[in-house]
């Protein structure tokens, strides 16, 4: 089975026989750091270590789609935010907001791709996609325009602008999406199979659906018109109310969380829009806290809803047990095998009704 070809087919909207299992959200887990010998924060800064830890997502955790980097602060950092480097068990985070006092002064530097850790991510992609590298689909992650704006201007200040001075907020988002476009095209040129934009602040629970439609959506449409390759959008939380808008933005796939209320509806309208759906096993309640049998149950529910890539619904906690991640592929294999036998007799029924 050629995983990269299958991944491309899924993102092209073609039907494939078996759903893939992978991750497009951050997945730096402690068990894999111990096994691979590549730990953060070194694996956040050194291409060889980042490649080693990412490889273990496939060679050890068995995932069929992998993602780098292990954080969502690379572009913010390149634009001047200072970060706390974190520790093995704590992801790095933005601690300063350089444009908080003067958001209108934000400009995207022409040498952006040479700044901060963007070259590290590009080199890691080249290492993983070289002829001697892993033959596994690789997704490169970028923080989305609203998250980037919140890093640069401070989350409270930026959300205030979306309400009181929406034109300024729009202007900032357009500059942020310019940075996302530059970064995405560099990652795609380095041979990433797709880029994923992760934009937690765009969640209806954070900025509200109206602000998303007026301020962020136009920038996401421009993003997809400006990049040369496949793109995925991840927005956290209960995104049902903005799914139709997201689908109008032109992404090849959407990555959704367990809080999405009506999975079958989301999959149905996404497929009618030629968009694949990725998700949505609970990262905290199931993958972090529970055991492989619970992973199996949730896998069957997602697969019965025709999800295209079975994946964590959001970024993984570092303490997530490896055995739970490994059981994701086992659950998919069991599901596919049982469905094959079951379908011959019960065409319209769900497998979960019989097995859980």
Stretch that binds Zn ion, among 30-38, 93-101, 214-222, 236-244 (CB under 5 A): 236-244
Taking a C-beta distance cutoff of 8 angstroms, is the pair 310, 332 a contact?
yes
Place of tokens 């998303």: 212
Minimum CB separation of residue 101 from Zn ion in Å reads 29
The only residue of 63, 118, 314, 329 in contact with Zn ion, by rule CB under 5 A: 314
Minimum CB separation of residue 60 from Zn ion in Å reads 24
Minimum CB separation of residue 278 from Zn ion in Å reads 12
How many CB atoms within 10 Å of residue 39?
A: 19
Q: Is 253 left (phi over 0), alpha (psi -120 to 50) or beta?
A: beta
Residue 148 touches Zn ion, criterion: CB under 5 A: no
Q: Which of residues 40-59 bind Zn ion (CB under 5 A)?
A: none
Taking a C-beta distance cutoff of 8 angstroms, is the pair 57, 66 a contact?
yes
Nearer to Zn ion, 45 or 259 (CB): 259
Stretch that binds Zn ion, among 54-62, 76-84, 98-106, 235-243 (CB under 5 A): 235-243
Taking a C-beta distance cutoff of 8 angstroms, is the pair 219, 171 a contact?
no
Minimum CB separation of residue 194 from Zn ion in Å reads 17
Angle made by CA atoms 205, 207, 211, in degrees to the nearest 5 = 130
Stretch that binds Zn ion, among 6-14, 231-239, 277-285, 330-338 (CB under 5 A): 231-239
Taking a C-beta distance cutoff of 8 angstroms, is the pair 70, 50 a contact?
yes
Residue 20 touches Zn ion, criterion: CB under 5 A: no
Stretch that binds Zn ion, among 36-44, 121-129, 211-219, 307-315 (CB under 5 A): 307-315
- Following CA atoms 217, 100, 115, 229 in sequence, which dihedral angle do they give, to the nearest 10 degrees? 0
Residue 236 touches Zn ion, criterion: CB under 5 A: yes
Of the candidates 267, 178, 266, the one whose C-alpha atom is nearest the C-alpha of residue 225 is 178
Residue 276 touches Zn ion, criterion: CB under 5 A: no
Minimum CB separation of residue 84 from Zn ion in Å reads 20
Stretch that binds Zn ion, among 39-47, 117-125, 176-184, 234-242 (CB under 5 A): 234-242
Taking a C-beta distance cutoff of 8 angstroms, is the pair 253, 309 a contact?
yes
Minimum CB separation of residue 25 from Zn ion in Å reads 6
Nearer to Zn ion, 314 or 329 (CB): 314
Nearer to Zn ion, 103 or 279 (CB): 279
Strands (E), the chain: 20-21, 66-68, 83-84, 93-94, 138-143, 194-198, 230-234, 253-255, 276-281, 309-312
Residues 208-236 as b or e (16 or more Cβ within 10 Å = b) = bbebbeebbbebbebbbeebebbbbbbbb
Minimum CB separation of residue 79 from Zn ion in Å reads 22
Stretch that binds Zn ion, among 16-24, 228-236, 298-306, 334-342 (CB under 5 A): 228-236
- Number of residues forming the site for Zn ion (CB under 5 A): 2
Which stretches of the chain bind Zn ion, using CB under 5 A? 236, 314
């Amino acid at each position: 089975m050629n995983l990269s070809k299958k991944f491309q087919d899924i993102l092209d909207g073609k039907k494939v026989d078996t759903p893939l299992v992978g991750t497009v959200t951050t997945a730096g887990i402690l068990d894999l750091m111990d096994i691979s010998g590549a730990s953060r924060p070194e694996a956040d800064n050194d291409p060889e270590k980042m490649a080693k830890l990412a490889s273990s997502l496939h060679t050890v955790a068995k995932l069929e789609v992998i993602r780098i980097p292990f954080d969502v602060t690379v572009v913010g950092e390149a634009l001047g935010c200072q970060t706390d480097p974190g520790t093995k068990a704590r992801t790095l985070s933005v601690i300063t907001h350089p444009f908080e006092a003067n958001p209108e002064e934000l400009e995207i530097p022409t040498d952006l791709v040479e700044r901060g850790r963007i070259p590290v991510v590009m080199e890691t992609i080249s290492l993983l996609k070289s002829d001697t590298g892993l033959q596994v689909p690789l997704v490169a992650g970028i923080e989305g325009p609203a998250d980037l704006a919140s890093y640069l201007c401070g989350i409270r200040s930026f959300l205030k602008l979306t309400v009181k001075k929406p034109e300024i907020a729009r202007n900032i988002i357009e500059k942020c999406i310019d940075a996302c476009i530059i970064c995405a095209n560099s990652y795609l040129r380095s041979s990433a199979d797709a880029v994923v934009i992760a934009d937690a602040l765009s969640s209806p629970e954070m900025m509200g659906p109206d602000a998303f439609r007026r301020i962020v959506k136009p920038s996401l449409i421009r993003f997809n018109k400006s990049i040369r390759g496949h793109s995925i959008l991840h927005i956290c939380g209960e995104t049902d109310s903005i799914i139709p808008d997201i689908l109008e933005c032109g992404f090849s796939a959407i990555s959704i969380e367990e809080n999405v209320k009506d999975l079958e509806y989301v999959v149905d309208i996404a497929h009618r829009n030629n968009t694949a759906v990725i998700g949505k096993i609970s990262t905290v309640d199931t993958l972090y806290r529970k055991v492989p049998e619970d992973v199996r149950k949730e896998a069957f529910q997602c697969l019965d809803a025709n999800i295209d890539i079975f994946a964590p619904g959001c970024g993984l906690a570092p303490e997530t047990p490896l055995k739970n991640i490994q059981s994701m592929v086992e659950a998919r294999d069991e599901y596919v095998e049982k469905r094959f036998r079951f379908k011959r007799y019960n065409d319209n029924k769900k497998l979960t009704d019989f097995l859980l």
